[in-house]
A and B are shown apart, each in its own frame.
Chain A
Amino acid sequence: MSTVVDDATLLAILTKRAAAHLLAAAGMGEILTTRSWYYRLHRAIHDERSTGSLSRVAADLSSAAQAELHELLDELPPEIVVPGPRLLVPVMGALRLQRRVNYLTAEALATAMITGANIRATIEAPLLSAACAELGIGLELLPPTE
């Protein structure tokens, strides 16, 4: 079964720090993510306005490792599937949930519904959990490196 992964899990997969079964699934083209999660990962790493500890840690990387990181994010492996809006938006627009969700969550739900995939996330998200239960979507909440 395919899995829709969030940004933290995606980073763990890209840097080969994810669990072996996730890496194997990625190699077989069974890992999907969303544009929102991909964008959030890219922005978290690249955001020059960030004054947080992430930018400080990233700045401590050697120039070679920084270049490697940016290349990983800019050239997502072709095995990772990122569905486009032509496919997702009609489903996102047809969601009639008890509680309204934001774009990021709607995109994840639509991706999972169309593909029959589970969603794997790392951060407790009450609206995502409720929506998954309402729609019958499997949701795994696990640390990104497990």
Chain B
Amino acid sequence: MKATRWGRYSRVVAIEHEAPTELDTAVARARARAAATGDLRPIITGTFEGSVSEELADFAQRILTDGTYAREVRRLGQEDPDLATI
């Protein structure tokens, strides 16, 4: 992620200077923005304790483990390449 630049210096040493890349700068800006706005903080915590019905939990377990959900994801990805797992 770091670009390396070699410089000419008055003393007989070579110092590796790492200039931030465009990506480094974008990430740093995003982090600063998130810290200021709270965009990466959950809206609230401590309410996730609720339960779901056994029927729904069994449905999820089934489609996630028997390949049903994975097949649906492949179908959606063929239909819409921006949703494809690549």
Contact = CB atoms under 8 A, between A and B. Distances in A.
B48 A23 contact: yes
3 A-B pairs closest in CB distance: A29-B42, A78-B43, A15-B60
A125 interface: yes
Interface of B: 1, 21-23, 25-27, 29-31, 33-34, 39-49, 51-53, 55-57, 59-65, 68-73, 75-76, 81-86
A145 B65 contact: yes
5 contacts: A15-B56, A43-B76, A65-B59, A90-B30, A105-B86
A104 B82 contact: yes
Interface in A65-84: 65, 68-69, 72, 77-81, 83-84
Interface residues of A, number: 71
Contact of A40 (B23, B57, B73, B86): B73
Given A127-B86, A144-B64, A68 B53 contact: yes
A62 B73 CA distance: 24
Given A15-B60, A61-B59, A79 B34 contact: no
A68 B56 contact: yes
